[in-house]
Chains A and B, each alone.
Chain A
């Protein structure tokens, strides 16, 4: 190691890999991964969220995790987004494409993609 820059490069490269262990970030994306969710295709949705969050360099503030059955099996895959101080947003009938859009518009842009939310379904 001949310079501090080299050390910093390794730190930056590794930071994303250990940041998971610092606990929950400000934003939590929770994917319903019970049998119904998995059957409806929740796995690619979960993996897309993980990839997009990492790609976007958001892993320090966004935690992607999974949960069991949320109870609305007809709307699976279901994804919930929790943000401190804001109301929970529930997205339903998700796909990998929709997940990308949610990361782009909601997580990065701050605008809820209302056409995919459960509120929209009920209406």
Chain B
């Protein structure tokens, strides 16, 4: 009889920090102590606190162990599982109170990281074994599909989704119910449901986590969408760089077929639906819906002009509904708990929750799901644990290469679709990169432009040539060769690219530049007028110097300089025994190694 369960995170983050070998160590130690019949090991999806991985949770106590190593496993098994003594030093504690108190009185849901979260999309991630369909069924899995097929008409389903106010979570925010209702009336011999799992924004990984942690909910939702619009076939377009997600999704599809939850005559209703995986090769443009469909068809992933919209002519020229993973993951819950329940969360025009991937300069890097309308301050300071090393918050970047940034002055913005659009930003798929005073905004814009230049498919000129020219201008500015005129030209070109590009990639590519120009124009001016990078990032505008009076002459800088540009001088500062060193500015490569090696803080960059 199982009395305790050990849940080990098998998401990509924890897997890369060694959760597989921890699982093996648990197996061995549990066996060595003869506990095989009492303790069950479960590999789950992402818990969200990726910064503290690998994560292990032990139930029924709900003990949350973070940063577990293989060497800790023996202790956990012998102390906790055998003798019931919690290994205090490994318990996650973000409250500052005594760990003993946490073990006895604080449940995981009460910690700062989880307290304000409302897990709808992620409700099963970190709870069930994603490779076991029975566990999904135990958590009300496939009940929504059952309800839809036996009690509801396709019109009822679309009405329920429309009433819930659910909007596309891939970035655009198009109402999902409207998308379905535009497709449903179109007659065709074959219609399709497509799931966009080509998550391409740097820093976003919520879709991957859903597929890794709860793949069946996407399958169930796609079948529901199929019933609503009259499609019998579906494709999940997922990037090949997500091997764990692809493997688990395939296992889930196979299990669903075996149970007859995919295939012919599901629940005896006469409705047929089946699902196939298509792997993307990682082109950013394939996240654009028409390019994605072109790619599924086996052609080069290039967008095509809309209209006709996919609801009329989509995959193989047939009516198609295409939604993002996170959008689909909401559907079963909406069907089961009702449109009103969903609409009770969030703001007036943005209902429900949103998953954000927190990254950058923030303590709790990871995945959080919060109601729409939560303030940015709450997300960063409370849930995310604030900025590490006592640095000051400067801006948050959302929406990846298509998005903009929210400056510190707008930290009290309630995050939803319309508020972000109003400040010239965009929700995007939910990547949220936090930047502190050490980040240069011009450099950030340049980083995203480098990305879009690489990823532009080349079909239309404004995007292909325009982004390249934008990047060249930014490069010129970061090298200190820009002029005030360049800033005006930059802005003009941005508007031109936005208005004339064929698809979303080009239309949104200038956003990082426009947003930083709007909120951080002074930084651009500092680069072109003063020839200085205020954050100290742009190398060409930096000079490293040694304060000869602080230098004690230890020579650590010279020893570690990769370019041998640091030499001894004749000057001996008062009170010092050895002569100080100096940097040859002409040869310096500005790597900063000297500065990090100086224990006496004698080196500075200006």
Contacts and interface: CB of A to CB of B under 8 A. Distances in A.
Q: Are A and B physically bound partners?
A: yes
Interface of A: 1-4, 7, 10-11, 13-15, 17-18, 20-21, 23-24, 31-35, 38, 46-47, 50-51, 54, 63-68
Contact of B60 (A24, A33, A38, A68): A24
B5 A4 contact: no
Contacts of B2: 17, 20, 50
B85 A14 contact: no
Interface stretch (B181-189, B263-271, B500-508): B263-271
B138 A14 contact: yes
A37 B25 CA distance: 26
Contacts of A23: 59-60, 62, 107-109
B137 A65 contact: no
Contacts of A63: 60
Interface stretch (B127-135, B170-178, B348-356, B517-525): B127-135
A1 B260 contact: yes
B128 A18 contact: yes
A77 B109 CA distance: 32
Contacts of A50: 1-3, 38
Nearest to B44: A21
A1 B261 contact: yes
A18 B2 CA distance: 11
B243 interface: no
Contacts of A18: 127-128, 135, 138-139
A88 to B, nearest CB: 13
Contacts of A34: 83-85
Nearest to B62: A23
A64 B61 CA distance: 9
Interface stretch (B142-150, B465-473, B490-498): B142-150
B260 A46 contact: no
Interface in B88-127: 107-109, 127
A2 B108 CA distance: 39
A44 to B, nearest CB: 11
A4 B146 contact: yes
Given A2-B268, A7-B143, A21 B83 contact: no
B511 to A, nearest CB: 42
Contacts of B3: 46-47, 50, 64
A47 B1 contact: yes
Given A7-B142, A50-B3, A33 B83 contact: yes
A10 B62 contact: no
B82 interface: yes
A2 B265 CA distance: 8
Interface in B237-275: 259-261, 265-268
A32 B108 CA distance: 23
B403 to A, nearest CB: 36
Of the candidates A10, A15, A34, the one having the most CB atoms from chain B within 10 angstroms of its own CB is A10
A45 B26 CA distance: 24
A66 B134 contact: no
19 contacts: A1-B260, A2-B267, A2-B268, A3-B267, A3-B268, A7-B142, A10-B137, A10-B138, A11-B140, A14-B134, A18-B138, A20-B2, A20-B4, A23-B60, A34-B83, A50-B1, A63-B60, A64-B3, A68-B85
A50 B59 CA distance: 13
B125 to A, nearest CB: 12
A46 to B, nearest CB: 7
Contacts of B140: 11
A23 B106 CA distance: 12
Interface string B28-41: 00000000001000
Contacts of A11: 137-138, 140, 143
Contacts of B138: 10-11, 14-15, 17-18
Nearest to B268: A2
Contacts of A33: 82-84
Contacts of A68: 83-85
Closest 3 CB pairs of A and B: A66-B84, A14-B138, A68-B85
B38 A20 contact: no
B137 A7 contact: yes
B83 A64 contact: no
Given A1-B259, A2-B267, A63-B60, 15 more contacts: A1-B267, A4-B267, A10-B138, A14-B135, A14-B138, A17-B135, A18-B139, A21-B7, A21-B127, A38-B82, A47-B1, A64-B3, A65-B61, A66-B83, A66-B84
A90 B266 CA distance: 53
A14 B150 CA distance: 23
A20 B146 contact: no
Contacts of B83: 33-35, 38, 66, 68
A7 B146 contact: yes
